[in-house]
Amino acid sequence: MFVLGIDPGVSRCGYGAVRQEDGQPVAVVSGVLTTPVSDALEHRLAQLMRELRLLLSRLAPDVVVVERVLFQANARTAMSVGQASGLALAAAGEIGVPVVQYSPNEVKQAVAGWGNAGKQQVQRMVQSLLDLPETPSPPDRADALALALCHLATAPLAQAVARADAKANGPRRAEDKSPEPKSAHVGPVAPVPAGAPA
């Protein structure tokens, strides 16, 4: 499985691609897409969309993983993350690549074993799990790689649960199906006289 993680942001949008090889995660590429803060927002969003499309076209991942933001104390940051997240989802949707979202706590739990792990802990764990020569920096880059690692760790269990559910429930047999409900209405409906209470 080849996973592209996206840590969304308009000023800095981290990306990290990880491939599963012989049961081990291997970092393929990572970095940060940036837009100049001096430019108008619409131009920055257009630039980010172009770069995300190019990234997806070049890498052709099996799945894109985007951070789901559940809460942000800073409304401006939340807006920026939401805008960049929408662009990442749209860019993947355009070419038919499935998208999965995880909250920051889910990612930290999967990578560091603790949902409240700090940035440096996540960076060090990403370095260790991917056997990188140095700690991935800036944090946006590490977070994107962590998103990809989270999916590689979580997806097999989710697929196993889905298979078990399908096997347990199976296709319903004809005799198990409930009969269609019969209509209680018989004959025409009488009109309500004018002025009568509804």
Annotated catalytic residue 51: no
Catalytic: which of 22, 42, 140, 165?
140
Res 196 pLDDT > 60: no
pLDDT at 165: 76
Annotated catalytic residue 67: yes
Count of CA atoms in the C-beta half-sphere (13 A) of 162 = 6
Q: What's the pLDDT tens digit per position in 134-189?
A: 999 999 999 999 999 999 999 877 666 667 778 888 765 545 554 444 434 344 44
Annotated catalytic residue 131: no
User: Which CATH fold would you assign to the domain 2-155?
Assistant: Nucleotidyltransferase; domain 5 (3.30.420)
Q: What's the pLDDT tens digit per position in 45-104?
A: 999 999 999 999 999 999 999 998 776 567 777 888 899 999 999 999 999 999 999 999
The model's pTM: 0.79
